[in-house]
Chains A and B, each alone.
Chain A
Amino acid sequence: MLYEQYGGYLMSVCLRYAGNREDAEEVFHDTMMKVFDNIRSFKGNSSLRTWINRIGINTALDFLRKRKNALMIEHISDQVLEMKDNPIEEEISIEAETAMKVLQKLPVNQQIVINLFMIDGYSHKEIANQLNISEEASRSQYSRAKKQLSELVKTKLKLNEQQR
């Protein structure tokens, strides 16, 4: 069954974008309704999981637009700021729950860009289209977000080491 097979994965996507359980459930519900409504139009060009994932992302972005006004055009959107950061040298492994918590510490705009680019594999061009911003703005946001994320991950890893 569709719900059993893809429900958990979709809920994970919804949580990543919505940021909290309550909103994620709302997005999940709307997505499932859309999936059931449009399942006949699914042509099999991609996997069903990818198709559901795309619907989930679009629904989540619409939800955020409505509820949080999160996708405000940034004042500095026209300024391209490629930021240098301290790279993480070694290969790391993070649990999903930890990654989710770290992600939620970023501003909403940055969460979205990280989700779209880093996790869901969107290109900057696709992000620009999706968010109605320029490609440069997307790169800039991502650059800034990644730097912050990197710092947050490092801190988290340090804390984990200290706890051990």
Chain B
Amino acid sequence: MNNKDNLQNAFEKAFEEHQAPLNQAQWDRLDAALLRKKNKRRFLPWIFTLIAVTIFSVGFGYWLGNKSVKNENSNQQISSNHNITDKSRSVDDQSFKSQSKPLVQNDSTPMASSENITKAVSQPSTNKHSDIKSITERKNKIARAIRAKNSRNPIIEQPKLTFEDPKVHIEKPKLPTEETKDGYYPKANPDNITIVDGTKPLKIIDAPISKSSEELADSLLNNAKDSSLKDGDDPKKHVKRFAIGLTGGISNAVFKNTTFTEPSKMHEDTKQVYNENVKQTKSQYLNLFFDFKILKNVNLTLNSGIQYRQIEINENNNYTLYKVPFRNQDGSIAAYIKFPMIVPSQDTNKKWDTLNPMTFSYSNKIGIRFVSIPVAFSYTLPLSSKSELQLTAGIILNKIAFAKGKTFSLNTAQLLNYKEVLNKKGNMGYLAGVSYYRNLYKPWWIGLGAQIQQNKVMINSGGYGFIKSNINITNYSLNLKYKF
């Protein structure tokens, strides 16, 4: 048996069945750690469930609140519609006549002129059925019925009221010829109803609403118009109380402003190597967000949610090390020793070895996953009834959730696992952006956005302090929003 086998066999045998003693403290520590982990695992889903339920409850609550407020407002607007006076317009009798149909129409009898009507009412009729008192009573009765009808059913589409009386003919009401309290809305006004004798059954038909009245009603229902908008635009349709959405897209991530926590310990080429390492990046992101309107009359919303981002870094570098740091005991660099250098040989056959500059060629793929919470304010600028521009600015709270791959560390001249050297402490950056939205279908809006944001990373150089860097990110996104 040769030397290799003898030595190797001896060592293999020595450790083959070797069991090192374990102490109770070790087990206790392990047991406690496992228990903590188990509890943490049990607790985490609850936290996420709680957050989800809270977000949903808040959203649903506001949606419900908004809905009931909206209904209340609508009712108020409709019921007050009867008393609206639009001072910007004046309606003359003639124009109204041309747009509206007669209030009461007797199929067989031509319409009496207003002079005739007045005459008929003011002068006693020769007809044996005519009786001024009874006519007045009937007039009052009709007026009461109309009042009751108006107060019971305050809607724009007016109901039909039939009334048959062979003795009475109710003529078309007199309409206001100038600005009145009732405006030009053709509500049946008992004071304007003239009743004359008739011989045929009568029908009281409420006047249909004129086109101008419909327009007015629409505009009243949808609130006052913003002077900056075109016809039919409505700022309330743009900024609702609450909206949720999904944003996703690709990003351009650039590592900038590299600094060191302990510069005296870093090799002078560290920044150069690091910047070269993080040159090639790719990033994608997904953002689940909500918009909550803060002020009633301003299109300003609080924008928050949760963002998931992945950044891929392709490290491709050929670095030649010309200087080796000579360190003090505390790790700070005292001087550099330049290649080529002569060092004592470990080979017993020769005294010296010559060391030449070393070239490190490496190609690594690194992945970082961020989970972030943006907290921003958004201002919505309506462009038309179906499109809007949303400007956003705020902060973003970032946390590294996961990292994989290896990175070359110059100060230790080795490849380090990224997840082990990456400081996972949370950090804060800024974000700002603009999105263009277009109404897709009912409450659904689709948009395109561009946004800048800042994430930060901190990497342990392998015992010589941290390399800090900002990641300036430009996002290009496709957005989908649902407005409640």
Contact = CB atoms under 8 A, between A and B. Distances in A.
A117 B125 CA distance: 130
Contact of A94 (B10, B20, B27): B10
Contacts of A12: 15, 18-20
Nearest to B348: A83
B14 interface: yes
B14 A96 contact: yes
A28 B420 CA distance: 18
Nearest to A147: B348
A150 B5 CA distance: 12
Interface stretch (B211-219, B252-260, B408-416): B408-416
Given A25-B26, A29-B30, A16 B6 contact: no
B358 A75 contact: yes
B15 A87 contact: no
A50 B105 CA distance: 103
Nearest to A13: B15
B2 interface: yes
A7 B21 CA distance: 9
Contact of B417 (A62, A95, A114, A153): A62
A81 B3 CA distance: 18
Interface in B28-76: 29-30, 33-34, 37
B10 A132 contact: no
B284 to A, nearest CB: 27
Interface in B415-435: 415-417, 420
Contacts of A114: 11
A8 B6 contact: no
Contacts of B11: 94, 99, 114, 118-119
B22 interface: yes
Interface residues of A, number: 51
Contacts of A161: none
Give the one of B17, B18, B26, B34 with max A CB within 10 A: B18
Nearest to B31: A3
A146 interface: yes
A28 B417 CA distance: 19
Contacts of B22: 3, 7-8, 11
Given A8-B21, A89-B3, A93-B13, A81 B413 contact: no
Given A11-B21, A81-B347, A90 B6 contact: yes
Interface in B327-364: 343, 346-347, 353, 355, 358, 360
A88 B6 contact: yes
A91 to B, nearest CB: 6
Given A3-B22, A8-B19, A93-B13, 18 more contacts: A8-B21, A24-B20, A28-B26, A29-B30, A33-B33, A36-B34, A65-B412, A65-B462, A66-B462, A76-B346, A86-B3, A89-B3, A96-B15, A118-B7, A118-B8, A132-B414, A144-B346, A149-B7
8 A-B pairs with least C-beta separation: A87-B3, A8-B19, A11-B20, A96-B18, A99-B14, A12-B20, A12-B18, A96-B14
